[in-house]
């Protein structure tokens, strides 16, 4: 796989996501080659932020338990950033590099947030 990272820009921070190698990631990277995706994300149950992607992507679901920093595709069209644990059938997209759970929670904040998904670290 050519592209090994993508970037999430949120609340003035740029987060590096180390990508998995699966068909979901390949399709998302192909979509991002046309431009950034802005995702309006809502907080759910104080352990994740989720938002709708512009289209559905291939699913590679498996039963997993998430950890803080996991970036997940749920239901084929939802981007989810976890900052705590959850178990369900999900597709792993990648993992945010180098942040503790507390740091990630602080960056994401308590409420809804806008996240720019990009192949480049800067605008």
Q: Walk me through the domains of the chain, giving residue ranges and CATH numbers.
A: 5-118 (2.40.100.20)
CA angle 112, 62, 8 (to 5 degrees): 35
Q: How far is 29 from 9, CA to CA, in rounded Å?
A: 16
> Quick one: average pLDDT of 6-16?
97
What pLDDT score was predicted for residue 110?
A: 87
Residue 45: both structure tokens together: 């149950």
What pLDDT score was predicted for residue 1?
A: 62
Radius of gyration, CA atoms only, the chain: 13
Percent residues over pLDDT 70 in the chain: 98
Q: Which of 86, 85, 115, 110 is nearest to 17 (CA)?
A: 115
Are 58 and 48 a contacting pair, CB within 8 Å? no
What pLDDT score was predicted for residue 2?
A: 79
Q: How far is 83 from 72, CA to CA, in rounded Å?
A: 11
Query: Is residue 122 very low, low, confident or very high in pLDDT (cuts 50, 70, 90)?
Result: confident
Alpha helices (runs of H) in 3-45, residue ranges in sequence order: 23-32
Q: What is the pLDDT of residues 24-73, one digit of tens each?
A: 999 999 999 999 999 999 999 889 999 999 999 999 999 999 999 999 99
């Amino acid at each position: 796989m050519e592209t090994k990272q993508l970037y999430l820009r949120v609340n003035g921070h740029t987060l590096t996501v180390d990508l998995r190698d699966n068909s979901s990631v390949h399709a998302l990277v192909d979509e991002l080659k046309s431009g950034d995706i802005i995702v309006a994300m809502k907080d759910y149950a104080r352990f994740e932020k989720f938002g709708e992607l512009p289209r559905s992507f291939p699913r590679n679901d498996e039963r997993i338990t998430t950890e803080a920093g996991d970036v997940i595709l749920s239901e084929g069209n939802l981007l989810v950033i976890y900052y705590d644990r959850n178990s369900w059938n999900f597709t792993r997209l990648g993992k945010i590099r180098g942040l503790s759970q507390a740091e990630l929670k602080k960056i994401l904040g308590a409420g809804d947030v806008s996240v720019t998904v990009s192949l480049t670290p800067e605008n």
